[in-house]
Amino acid sequence: EPKVLGHSIGLNALPTVISMYIGYIFYGMTGLILGPFVFMAFRSAKEAGLFDFYLKARKV
């Protein structure tokens, strides 16, 4: 369930459902399982500032 999975990896239910759906669309059952973890990795990288150079270059 998205709520249980989201709580265990630190995401809210809505981003968990969305990442599971997108993962399923692109990669099937593997994406369904790995989608929330990939989303969490991107979110953590953004919070750590790994995308700041890109955002500054695009002036977003």
User: What pTM did the predictor assign?
Assistant: 0.68
Positive/negative CA dihedral, 50, 43, 37, 30 = negative
pLDDT at 4: 64
Q: What is the mean pLDDT of residues 30-42?
A: 92
Contact 25, 34 (CB under 8 A): no
DSSP for 33-56, written as a single string: HHHHHHHHHHHHHHHHTTTHHHHH
What SS3 class is residue 59?
coil
47 pLDDT band, cuts 50/70/90, is confident
Q: Is the pLDDT of residue 1 over 60?
A: no
Per-domain residue ranges of the chain: 2-58
pLDDT at 3: 61
